[in-house]
Amino acid sequence: MHHRLLVRQLQRLMGNDFLPDERWNSFLELVSNYYHEVDRERGLLENALTVNNEELEVANTQLRAKVESEEALLRSFTNSIPEDLFFAKSMDGLYTLCNEVFAHVMGMTEKEIVGKSDAQLLGSDKVEFLRALEREVLDTGKRNVQDEWITHPDGSQHCIEMLRAPYFGVDGKPLGLIGIGRDITDKKQVDEKNYKLANFDSLTGLPNRHSFFEKLEHEIRQADRARLSLVLLLIDLDQFKEINDTLGHLVGDLLLVEAASRISACTRESDTVARLQGDEFTVILSRVKDLKDMELVAQKIIERLGEPFQLSDSVVYVSASIGISVYPQDATEVEELLKSADDAMYEAKRQGRNRFSHFTPGLQTAPQERLHMITDLRAAILENQFHLHYQPIMDMVTGHIRMAEALVRWDHPTRGIIMPRDFIPLAEETGLIVQIGDWVFHEAARWAGRWNEFLPGGFQVCVNISAMQFRAEGAASQMKWIEHLKTHSIPGKCIVVEITEGVLLNADEDALKMLANFRNADIQVAIDDFGTGYSSLAYLTKFDIEYLKIDKSFINSLSKDVRDTALCEAILVTAKKLGLQVVAMGVENHLQNEMLDKFGCDFVQGYLYSRPILAEQLDAILRHGAMGR
């Protein structure tokens, strides 16, 4: 075969693309023929050189020039391929030919490569692997394709898709080995990026929903083989929506990233932490031997997520509700296991949040009950099924009732009285809290105005406001509250709005404006359940606050827990210095009352004096002075 014809056929076969499988046989045949022809002509040259006369000397020179010309032609052709690497090796592993692309990737020249082995060029552990691979190719006669990482002298890493195959002489014996490859580093990077996009959350870097399901299926199979349990934790950040809405999505994203890091720090390397969506995370505790361990992990996560988050210029606080399900005890299918954890998570929320809950068969009906509850709640608003109870608040100095907290009750037509803890969280989730809050305020204001008219020292009614009501729709309602007071000539000082510490800690411009509107309308503000969060009296100086209501958990521990007693006293002393008045909640016995009096507490509220009662009952007491110390 004429060498120029061979090169033209090679060009048609190769082009600029990596050779498809169906063209490899033709390519190998052409290369084999080339090397066979070169060897034949070299043989002729060697035979001719044994004859010592001038004519043969000239012929030999011409033949040598022809062989070199043909080699140069093939070298020129392989160098004309812009992207593909090409090399040829002898049976003993020495390079006989390579193109410029291959030499560039190796960080050498062709002259530095030809005639040498990988051991001389690479000098690394990889040499043994390559030699074994190439020996297998020559022994079996089968080609091999695989990805190889090569370190360029400049330190850059290149991934090469390399195909190795033997070439044979006309007698069928292998003459050596050739390789052709291409740099697929960019493709690898794109593939890796696409893989990450498909399997990992772009914000937190955790496995996403798709990857989570694959991992859960894999871990279930592993648990079956090991005959061990598998635990699934479903984690929801309780206050995330509020923070995201009030402080913005940037802060919300920072919170999710930090939350992901804290959750991961609470698990083992063998466990899987994933982000399903929004503020929902999951943890797969694989091959669990002792089911008590899952509660330790869940509690550790709750404690870590309960610590303050320093996000940009904001300090925010969240809690976590965790649902726990166990394979195979609670479910045997992936979807069922996740649903069981979801049911348990909602039960944790229903119980007050900031806790974990185990799945039980009874929770399977919870979603249906929740849907019925939402429907009934909407009907309750339309049909006015709510009423208020009022719990008196006693003045420790005069012994008279000076205030009362308005507490909403739902009088369900078939279920009877439903307490706030059982429907307020649902009202907040659905946004119905705004409409319920409107009704509570108007009803409380009506009675506050009436009692203020005949009580010489005036009277105040405390109204709880959810953090949800500080959003746009709730803010509009509260401006109407102020107009309502003006329209009905009800003094603003008759109303005290009770808010949680979280509202102040996460206060944005809208919340601050709303607090300013309350102040301008003479409506006073109280911090409810003070001491249950990360309380700091220092931040109270930034806001116009009149009252602190110490949580009943501290009051219950008076005289029993030295630390709680000391803390309670410290709050009272510091509050006095800041000009704040203190209401102690949950006072149930005379000893608690006496200690609070000794500490200088301003007001007390609790069963020692009265349970929450109807407005008409409180009205009669206030008119006749039937309740006092």
| pLDDT of 524 | 94
- pLDDT class of 477 with cuts at 50, 70, 90: confident
Residue 126 has pLDDT above 80, yes or no: no
Per-residue model confidence as pLDDT tens digits over 5-40: 444 445 454 554 555 555 555 655 666 666 666 666
Q: Which domains does the chain have, with CATH numbers?
A: 3-189 (3.30.450.20), 200-359 (3.30.70.270), 370-620 (3.20.20.450)
Average pLDDT, the chain: 83
More confident residue, 439 or 536: 439
| DSSP secondary structure of 578-618 | TT-EEEEE---SHHHHHHHHHHT-SEEESTTT---EEHHHH
Least confident of 73-87, 122-136, 404-418, 609-623: 73-87
| pLDDT of 273 | 96
Per-residue model confidence as pLDDT tens digits over 356-400: 999 887 666 666 777 888 999 999 999 999 999 999 999 999 989
Range with the largest mean pLDDT of 194-198, 409-413, 544-548: 409-413
Residue 531's alpha-carbon distances to 289, 326, 395, in angstroms, are 38, 35, 21
| pLDDT of 379 | 94
Neighbouring residues of 94: CB distance < 8 A, sequence distance ≥ 6: 115, 116, 117
CA distance 285 to 560: 39
Per-residue model confidence as pLDDT tens digits over 198-219: 889 989 999 999 999 999 999 9
Percent of the chain with pLDDT over 90: 38
Residue 137's alpha-carbon distances to 79, 142, 348, 545, 568, in angstroms, are 25, 5, 63, 83, 82
| DSSP secondary structure of 273-321 | EEEEETTEEEEEEEEES-THHHHHHHHHHHHHHTS-EEETTEEE---EE
Overall average pLDDT of the 593-611 stretch: 93
- pLDDT class of 532 with cuts at 50, 70, 90: low
- Any idea what DSSP says for residue 191? H
| pLDDT of 585 | 92
Per-residue model confidence as pLDDT tens digits over 331-343: 989 999 999 999 8
- pLDDT class of 129 with cuts at 50, 70, 90: confident
- Any idea what DSSP says for residue 200? B
- pLDDT class of 79 with cuts at 50, 70, 90: low
